[in-house]
Structure 1
Amino acid sequence: MPDESGGLLAIRGDHAALLGVLWGKSAGKAGGRVNLLLSHLLDTAAVAELIWDRFLAPSTRRTLDELAGGETRGKRLFCWLCAVHDVGKATPPFQQMDRAGSLAVRAVGLGWRKEAGPRQWRHDRAGGRVLIDRLRASGWRDEHVDWVWPLVAGHHGLFPSAGSLALRGSKRTLLNGDARWEVAQRALLEAVTAALGYGSVDEVEPVRVPSRATQLQVSGLIVMADWIASDERHFVGIDDLASLGMKVSRERAARAWEELGLRGGWGRLPLPGEDVFRERFDEQPRPSQAMVLRAAHAMAEPGLLIVEAPMGEGKTKAAFLAAEVLAARFGADGVFMGMPTQATCDPMFDRMRDWLRGIDPKLVSQVALLHGKSRFNPEWKEQIDAGAGSMGGRFASVDEFGLDCCDDPYLDGGGTVAQALAGWFLGRHRGLLAPFVVGTIDQLLFAATRTKHVMLRMAGLAGKVVVLDEVHAADVYMSQFLQEALRWLGQARVPVVMLSATLAPAQRHALVGAYLAGAASRTECDLSGWVEPQGYPCATSAWWDGERARFGVDAAPAWREAALRADESLPAVRLEVLPETVIGSDDALEDAQRRVDEEVADLLVERLAEGGCALVIRNTVARAQSLAKVLYERFAEDEVDLLHGRLTVRARADRTRAALNALGTSGEGDDRPARWVLVATQLAEQSFDVDADLLITDLAPVDLLLQRIGRLHRHTGTARPCGLREPRVVVTGFAPADDGPPDLLGASEGIYGRWPLLRTAALVLDAAAHDGWRVPAQVPELVGRVYGETHDVVPAAWRSAEDEARLLWEDTRRERIEDAERYLLTRTGEHENTTLEGLHFAGALDGGERRLQAVVRDGRPGVEAVLVVREPGGGYRTPAGRALSVNGDVAEALLDEVLGGTVRLSAGQSLAAQKELEPLPGWRGDPWLQYSPALVVDAEGWAEVGGYTLRYDPVLGLVQESAPDFAGRAERRR
């Protein structure tokens, strides 16, 4: 049994002398007093006990119990794995790093023949080597030694290969020292093992090898325990061996845990009853929502549940309750909700909080909002400003050796530890450890990249139910990371719920295959028993029963289907085409674009003559800005608004909120504008709960076009003008031709590719000439036709152009898949590996969330700059006119206003911006602004970046007035 007296179990005298000098933290890093290495190991074990009791999901505890050989055994094994993480510090390369500490070590006969720096044998890798030798000597089987040592060797974020731990030549001399080091290492392991109640190290050996996903999760939890136990404020140095013991360490750990405010989610959740829908949402479930709950109840094992249903069908509510059912049945302790964009996260944050309030009001404060602009969500800001009480406190330090500035887990790119942001759950790598999380899908995709500290992301995802909205939005490049993530989640037995209105059959097949391959720990999984869903809405479930894949498929009528059946002659949506042809020389393009915009404006004036609300979606910011300028001339100022990604953060948030208030569920009746036009980019394409009377949209691939149609006549009971009571979509952005394929906008082709646009254009033209589309009934058919293998989608006169476009499309897809493979967590051919050894072989990605976002979304790192105005006489001010200092120093009261001026530059401007823009002098050292480049404009809003002439307009946002004349520059240089 563990010792409770405050001292350790009996330690032999010669062992006590060794353990009494081996140090883990120098006096300078441990509050003025050396912290013995054994002290840190016991502290980490005590923290691990709290992680087990107060943080781990029931499913994780059950898995570890099975691993250790029975109920109640998993906790001790978990604590032991956490405790031994720093055994590599009991080696010459580490112990010689502090002068005072090294003298004491030498005094007891622990010497070394050659001085070594920490990079030659970092203590994490040294620990892996020590464990290999000591565990084998204790009689552990190789299969268990092989999976345990990488947990120690990788606890600073990177899993090395076995070859890097080989003892050859000078490496053996540097690591081993004289013979007494083996005695010291054995003594350290035996002391920790005895303190945790084991009779010997051989008793610790597990009974089975866990999956790699479980290993990765445990590795992340080890890192978590280590970081908490490394905080010098709560774990001050103890240099007296007689003062050590689990009782002391538990008291220290309890104080640290209490101040951090760490906790898990809902613990063991009772299985929801039949009336749960009414209890949570005060309404009866629609047929499709009841279908989703049936599917969740029917899954025999944790698995993948794909829900396909029309826009506005209520998929989110169904997903929340499916998460409840799956959590109750399989022991999950929280939820991660992944959204396609930052803009879609904020409304979902509110919805998740409302849902959790119905389960337990105390859970509301445990929801984290993870995206780069979360500070500007008022509810989230209020939650974190309320203090570190619910979300964690400030940490002082981690580890004096083995981490440098860019490695520091509390910082994002440099600075000092004292500048670390408050909140354990809010820092880099750690956000997913919060029990309930709403974030962009990028947070999940990061967990599928070969990045440093990736184990923390897996530790945050395993033990939760993962819900992913709008999964069809992942393009072929992003899908490689999504499928890799699903492999790991499947192996970790994490229930996953995916939502989509327009999922292509091939995409559905790939997602199911990836999850099941992971669950089976195979490169591929046999899906021969799977039957494709036939109805719509539909639910597809898949799980691995230990021997083979199992499936469930169900369908239900859409909630509006009865109304549509009442009048079979009435199409759900009528389509019209507004041809657009831009003709002329480069000098005339602006005039030609204005003519196009005037045609759209004429149509809007005509259709909104009796009032009504229209949504216009353009494929580029420039097109949206150009149209908005014309509409502001034709409509009253309060009848037009513009929403896109190159507004300041504050303006974008305010306009998004205004649009949702005007046209969302709260915008019915007297609050709905009499006449209003919202011009937007793809921000309004998905998870944007607005109800427009009329939709005008640029041509886009059919799945995205249907998503846009989902904003049209979205809610029932909305009063609409007589001429807008029938849902109509006007598709523009292309020009049909009499004898061949249509002319497509080059910008649209660049975004989406020519092949899906041609096939979609054929369906649009056919629908416009006949009866339109019956949405939602035809959604699967339309998506299947565009992305399917048949060649009868386009007219015969287009076939040659379509074949050429398809070849280019397929070549581009192959190239993008190959590009993604370079960054995936698991390399080709390694999916059946059984340990984490070499996971980071040949390096890992790092460099902050912005760089990672560029990796998983296949683009150069986006540049965001903080907009400030330079005063004519010197100094700066905010765009709203609030004065800053001559150097740009920002008072605390102005911080939100300054950060609210953050604006994203276009892709073409980003490279130049990275070179030219930098923080203002007064921002140096500021934890919020020190890495934020400033876009300094004059009093009229003008600036130049890399030869681009830019202007920030309060209404239009960041406008590119002119581009660099690269050819002219080259000519002038010649």
Structure 2
Amino acid sequence: MRIETMIVSNKLYYRYWGKARPKSGSKARYHLLPYHCLDVAACHQRLWAVKHGLLIGMAEHLDIPPNLLSNLLGFFATIHDIGKFSFVFQRLQVIEGAPLAAVPRREGMQARHDQIGYLYWLHWVRNRPDVLEKLGDTSVLELLGGVATGHHGIPPLDSRFKPRMAFTDEGCEAIDSFLTWAWRFWHMDECIDGLSKTDLSVGCWRAMSWVQSAMMILADWIGSDASVHKYCDDADQNLQTYYRRATRRAEQQIDKLGLSGVPAARRFSCATALLKFASLTPLQAFCEQVALEKRPLFFILEDITGAGKTEAALVLVARMLSNNYAGGFYFGLPTMATADSLFERLQPQYEALYESGPKPSLVLTHGATKLSEAFTDSIGLPLGPQDRGESDVHTATSWCNAFYADNKKKALLADVGVGTIDQALLAVLQTRHQSLRLFGLLGKVLVLDEVHSYDGYTAELISCLVQVHTRLGGSTIILSATLSTQLRQQLLDAFYTAQEQTAPKVSPDAGYPWVTYAGQGPQSFHETSVAPRTSSRRTVAVTPLHSLPDLVAVIREAIDAGYCIAWIRNTVKEAIASFDEIKDKLELTDDQVHLFHGRYTMANRGKIQTEVLRRFGESSTGVERRAQVVIATQVIEQSLDLDFDVLISDIAPIDLIIQRAGRLQRHRRDIHGARATGLTRDYRPAPTLFVLMPDPQKVCDQNWLMPDLQGTGAVYGDWANLWLTQQALLEKRRIKTPEDSRWYMDAVYDKPSMNPPVSFIAMSDRQIADRLKGLTLARGNRIAFENGYRQGPNDNWLNETPTRLTEETTILVLAEIRDEELYLLHGNMNNAWEMSSLTVRSADFCGLTPEVENRWSVKIAGLKVRHKRERSDDVVVPLKEVGGVYKGIGIDINMKMKVCIYSQNRGCEIRSG
């Protein structure tokens, strides 16, 4: 950028502070506003220098020279905090004896500085006749002004405004002077001339605004680090000289943070070398050989559980990286357990995708003990509280502290991210800092696994994510055991809508395994079947169970034969009850029966998951597995490589039944259950899936699932779906793969041959109505990408927006009472707060009783301060320990007293007080 040697203007803007919480040892009591603005501008320009290729690409799309685009964006970064010139902001901290502007006593508008700054910018730019004459309107400049001033993560809203509502006469003169200085400094007259020669009506500016928003958020956070950009209250500094020094600081700072580049992708050679497999499955071989058309690309890979879909996706990812179609990838999975499992599988493989040199960053969105050391070291910002007032939860420094402590957001900025799909979905929801998540996905391959497992609300958000990701040039890979025809079409529609084209119709008679793939234009659309993996060809017998005594007999017989057996229950409450019942009735020891569900603290859950994988995973021995019982919930039905000799499942929707069957005799073993090389078949008895279901002769009324499956009726409210699943299972009495996989989906979802009972149709209709409500809510909650980063009158931007329509939940943080003090249950671990937390339904437990709150509020506040969780809404539950069992008192959503009981082997139980 060309910097003028001298820009003349008055010095009123030196009379306003921008930061007023100096770090310990700082000589200055405050940081002047113009200097902070230039700190952020310098960081912003350095970030764009790092992403120079992206800047070039955006300039081409916008039909504007890159240097003009850089100056244009630099100008807006410089004016991002002009709202702080208002007396509404300046009165938040009166610094005695400082040569700063006087603050009037009169009332001002009730708004934050970001909103005030946006409104003043609109007032200023709309009154520039020279700009109006050249551009015809100021819509693009208004949009970019909203992006800059909306740097706290939510776009500002246009409203009625007069400068006097927030500014003194001197304040108006100061802000006008600063805007004029910045206008000249960044050669905005040349930028306006350049803009006047382009088509300003195209949607490219709106698309670009989401990317620029993320850059502004990052720049503001990085530029607010007072350990680098030290406070300066010297009003005699020349702004051009100050900017040059800030630029040098920003370069060193961003390089140190590890944001300076992406490791080079390794040239793809062959899939066997990448995966280190002796041979490929047909699906993996297809992914190695299929022609990759011009990006963006879209794939749906459907194959049975255990067929190597993840590895097939990695082959596609490696080829896209090698072709320079992407710089990284993000795996989004349905649950924390599945993300943990995939993270373990990716660790030894992901570096093979990149050239030797700096280690590419890999990060998990939770379970912080497993974070990549190279990545966590690269983001260790020494931050402290520096912003004053305006609710600390929205200041740049507090958000920066929270962001760099938030592994969920870090995963999206890493080269390779693994986490729940929710973290990616937040990129397209009206939630604070969504643009930063969207930026994190930019230039990555988005891989979404187990897509069949989501409800209509989340499926709609997934479609929106595919559309937006495609619009920004990203490629997507969808993995699933089986998708309905409707969902395949919905996802394909999203991909082609992003290209402003009509999607082809997917085949209603798809084979299995099945691949759907597309590139630019309908002519690039293809569907094809692939051969099944040889080892995946099998027949699982389905045996119905209609009573608990029959089920207990099956478990007893399996134990007597030395087999390991799992029972998948549909609720935590029923899993715990069944754990007690099976243990007592069969007189099993603690070493024989295991409980695994989702209501443990993260620390205990991780230990249990590791133990379950050790005993029942691919490498487990016959001795470890012998006569073992696991009572679990849905946590084991997806992406955990578990292998049981015998399996029981509560009745559930057919796609989940098929998924659960994948945990039955998953690997070839000898008669003793041991893994051995060279086995040509499995020597255990033929696999049988036992399904606990109502007696088919039972009356189909509200008691149909009583008493043994009461929780199932609450979890899966579409009883017509459950009834159709039962009828299909009773008709086939088997699951033959791959032949039966598509037949079952048709029988329950796409082409049912029977009508469910009338009494269940009403329940199904309610489910359909709920799904439609979910679709409406999803469409209302998602961002209007096509409108750009701006807030409309009907938008509803929040700090948190749900990614799934589930019952309201509460995060409990368990704290033990010792010597009248509170200590986190796992306080000796890294990330102790997360490790001591778990999630429950708010209907069961959502807070403390007034008595407990009054007794422990000060201690709880101190605990939050010690663990840097002052902003947290998590409920800290004080617990008394007696004999290894912890108990605490709270209330449910109806203010009824509840008892929280926790133990390491049973997890959390909520009982009436």
Structure 1 residue 265 corresponds to structure 2 residue 262: yes
Q: What is the rounded CA distance, in whole Å, between the counterparts of 2:824 and 2:112 in structure 1?
A: 43
Q: Which amino acid aligns with 2:879?
A: V
The alpha-carbon distance between structure 1 residues 601 and 48, as it changes in their structure 2 partners (threshold 3 A), is: same
Contact 1:59 1:330 in 2 (8 A): no
User: 1:131, CA displacement in angstroms?
Assistant: 6.2
For residues 66-104 of structure 1, the C-alpha deviation after alignment (integer angstroms, 9 at most, x for no partner) is 335356765555444433423444667656776679986
For residues 361-392 of structure 1, the C-alpha deviation after alignment (integer angstroms, 9 at most, x for no partner) is 66656212113xx13x4x32xx45x8953233
- The residue aligned with 1:552 is 526
Contact 2:85 2:171 in 1 (8 A): no
User: 1:933, CA displacement in angstroms?
Assistant: 0.7
Identify which of 119, 124, 145 aligns with 1:149.
145
Identify which of 768, 772, 776 aligns with 2:738.
776
Q: What is the rounded CA distance, in whole Å, between the counterparts of 1:625 and 1:333 in structure 2?
A: 45
Q: What is the rounded CA distance, in whole Å, between the counterparts of 1:751 and 1:899 in structure 2?
A: 26
- The residue aligned with 1:592 is none
- The residue aligned with 2:2 is 2
Q: What is the rounded CA distance, in whole Å, between the counterparts of 1:303 and 1:603 in structure 2?
A: 48
User: 1:689, CA displacement in angstroms?
Assistant: 1.0
- The residue aligned with 1:629 is 580
Q: What is the rounded CA distance, in whole Å, between the counterparts of 2:230 and 2:328 in structure 1?
A: 33
The worse-fitting range, judged by mean Cα deviation, of 277-286 and 641-650 is 277-286
Structure 1 residue 864 corresponds to structure 2 residue 829: no
For residues 521-573 of structure 1, the C-alpha deviation after alignment (integer angstroms, 9 at most, x for no partner) is xxxx622454457222222123444xx68422232111126x84xxxxxx611
Counterpart mapping for 1:21-170 below 5 A? 24-25=18-19, 32=28, 35-54=31-50, 56=51, 58=53, 61-67=56-62, 69-70=64-65, 75-89=70-84, 116=108, 119=111, 122-126=115-119, 128-129=121-122, 132-133=125-126, 137-138=130-131, 139-142=134-137, 143-162=139-158, 164=159, 166-168=160-162
Q: Provide structure 1 residue ranges, at least 5 long, that are not aligned to the other structure.
A: 565-570, 581-595, 877-884, 965-974
Q: What is the rounded CA distance, in whole Å, between the counterparts of 2:793 and 2:449 in structure 1?
A: 30
Q: What is the rounded CA distance, in whole Å, between the counterparts of 1:57 and 1:556 in structure 2?
A: 41
Structure 1 residue 491 corresponds to structure 2 residue 471: yes
The worse-fitting range, judged by mean Cα deviation, of 678-687 and 235-244 is 235-244
The alpha-carbon distance between structure 1 residues 364 and 256, as it changes in their structure 2 partners (threshold 3 A), is: closer
- The residue aligned with 1:725 is 685
- The residue aligned with 1:815 is 773
Counterpart mapping for 1:764-803 below 5 A? 764-768=729-733, 772-790=734-752, 792-793=753-754, 799-803=757-761
Contact 1:466 1:496 in 2 (8 A): yes
Structure 1 residue 835 corresponds to structure 2 residue 788: yes
For residues 787-837 of structure 1, the C-alpha deviation after alignment (integer angstroms, 9 at most, x for no partner) is 1254x235xxx54345444323322322333444443334xxxx6x44333
Counterpart mapping for 1:460-859 below 5 A? 460-520=440-500, 526-528=502-504, 530-531=506-507, 534-545=510-521, 550-560=524-534, 564=537, 572-580=539-547, 596=548, 598-633=549-584, 634=586, 635-667=588-620, 669=621, 672-717=624-669, 724-737=684-697, 743-744=704-705, 745-752=709-716, 753-768=718-733, 772-790=734-752, 792-793=753-754, 799-826=757-784, 833-839=786-792, 843-846=796-799, 852-853=801-802, 856-859=804-807
Q: What is the rounded CA distance, in whole Å, between the counterparts of 2:181 and 2:728 in structure 1?
A: 75
- Please state whether the residue corresponding to 1:611 is helix, strand or coil: coil
The alpha-carbon distance between structure 1 residues 472 and 192, as it changes in their structure 2 partners (threshold 3 A), is: same
Contact 1:301 1:543 in 2 (8 A): yes
Taking only the aligned residue pairs, the percentage that are identical comes to 22
User: 1:760, CA displacement in angstroms?
Assistant: 0.1
Counterpart mapping for 1:345-424 below 5 A? 345-360=339-354, 366-371=361-366, 374-375=367-368, 377=369, 379-380=370-371, 383=372, 389-397=377-385, 399-400=387-388, 403-408=390-395, 411=398, 420=401, 424=404
Q: Which amino acid aligns with 1:405?
A: D
- The residue aligned with 2:677 is none
User: 1:471, CA displacement in angstroms?
Assistant: 1.0
Q: What is the rounded CA distance, in whole Å, between the counterparts of 2:442 and 2:322 in structure 1?
A: 15
For residues 858-897 of structure 1, the C-alpha deviation after alignment (integer angstroms, 9 at most, x for no partner) is 32132323153x5xxxx35xxxxxxxx6454899746777
Contact 2:22 2:226 in 1 (8 A): no
Q: What is the rounded CA distance, in whole Å, between the counterparts of 1:740 and 1:891 in structure 2?
A: 48
The alpha-carbon distance between structure 1 residues 425 and 243, as it changes in their structure 2 partners (threshold 3 A), is: same
Q: Which amino acid aligns with 2:739?
A: A
- The Cα RMSD (Å) is 3.8
- The residue aligned with 2:863 is 923
User: 1:949, CA displacement in angstroms?
Assistant: 4.4
- Please state whether the residue corresponding to 1:734 is helix, strand or coil: coil
User: 1:214, CA displacement in angstroms?
Assistant: 3.0
The alpha-carbon distance between structure 1 residues 732 and 400, as it changes in their structure 2 partners (threshold 3 A), is: same
For residues 766-788 of structure 1, the C-alpha deviation after alignment (integer angstroms, 9 at most, x for no partner) is 122xxx12123321221122112
Structure 1 residue 320 corresponds to structure 2 residue 280: no
Q: What is the rounded CA distance, in whole Å, between the counterparts of 1:654 and 1:278 in structure 2?
A: 33
The worse-fitting range, judged by mean Cα deviation, of 912-921 and 801-810 is 912-921
User: 1:132, CA displacement in angstroms?
Assistant: 3.0
User: 1:952, CA displacement in angstroms?
Assistant: 3.1
User: 1:177, CA displacement in angstroms?
Assistant: 6.2
User: 1:703, CA displacement in angstroms?
Assistant: 0.5
Structure 1 residue 959 corresponds to structure 2 residue 912: no
The worse-fitting range, judged by mean Cα deviation, of 221-230 and 815-824 is 815-824
Identify which of 876, 879, 897 aligns with 1:933.
876
The alpha-carbon distance between structure 1 residues 141 and 554, as it changes in their structure 2 partners (threshold 3 A), is: farther
Q: What is the rounded CA distance, in whole Å, between the counterparts of 2:178 and 2:398 in structure 1?
A: 35
- Please state whether the residue corresponding to 2:846 is helix, strand or coil: helix
Q: What is the rounded CA distance, in whole Å, between the counterparts of 1:338 and 1:318 in structure 2?
A: 16
- Please state whether the residue corresponding to 2:845 is helix, strand or coil: helix
User: 1:944, CA displacement in angstroms?
Assistant: 4.3
Contact 1:219 1:455 in 2 (8 A): yes
Q: What is the rounded CA distance, in whole Å, between the counterparts of 1:426 and 1:950 in structure 2?
A: 27
Q: What is the rounded CA distance, in whole Å, between the counterparts of 1:623 and 1:839 in structure 2?
A: 46
- Please state whether the residue corresponding to 1:212 is helix, strand or coil: helix
The alpha-carbon distance between structure 1 residues 551 and 57, as it changes in their structure 2 partners (threshold 3 A), is: farther
Taking structure 1 as the reference length, the TM-score comes to 0.80
Q: What is the rounded CA distance, in whole Å, between the counterparts of 1:695 and 1:290 in structure 2?
A: 32
Contact 1:91 1:175 in 2 (8 A): no
User: 1:394, CA displacement in angstroms?
Assistant: 2.5
Structure 1 residue 219 corresponds to structure 2 residue 171: no
Q: What is the rounded CA distance, in whole Å, between the counterparts of 2:551 and 2:735 in structure 1?
A: 22
The worse-fitting range, judged by mean Cα deviation, of 436-445 and 60-69 is 60-69
- The residue aligned with 2:406 is 426
For residues 53-78 of structure 1, the C-alpha deviation after alignment (integer angstroms, 9 at most, x for no partner) is 43x38556523443353567655554
**Aligned pair count?**
870
Identify which of 228, 233, 247 aligns with 2:227.
233
The alpha-carbon distance between structure 1 residues 406 and 90, as it changes in their structure 2 partners (threshold 3 A), is: closer
- Please state whether the residue corresponding to 1:863 is helix, strand or coil: strand
For residues 830-858 of structure 1, the C-alpha deviation after alignment (integer angstroms, 9 at most, x for no partner) is x6x443332475542225xxxx45x6343
Q: What is the rounded CA distance, in whole Å, between the counterparts of 2:846 and 2:378 in structure 1?
A: 40
- Please state whether the residue corresponding to 2:331 is helix, strand or coil: strand
Q: Provide structure 2 residue ranges, at least 5 long, that are not aligned to the other structure.
A: 674-681, 892-896
User: 1:575, CA displacement in angstroms?
Assistant: 0.5
User: 1:642, CA displacement in angstroms?
Assistant: 1.0
Structure 1 residue 445 corresponds to structure 2 residue 425: yes
Contact 2:299 2:477 in 1 (8 A): yes
The alpha-carbon distance between structure 1 residues 200 and 681, as it changes in their structure 2 partners (threshold 3 A), is: closer
Q: What is the rounded CA distance, in whole Å, between the counterparts of 1:666 and 1:955 in structure 2?
A: 24
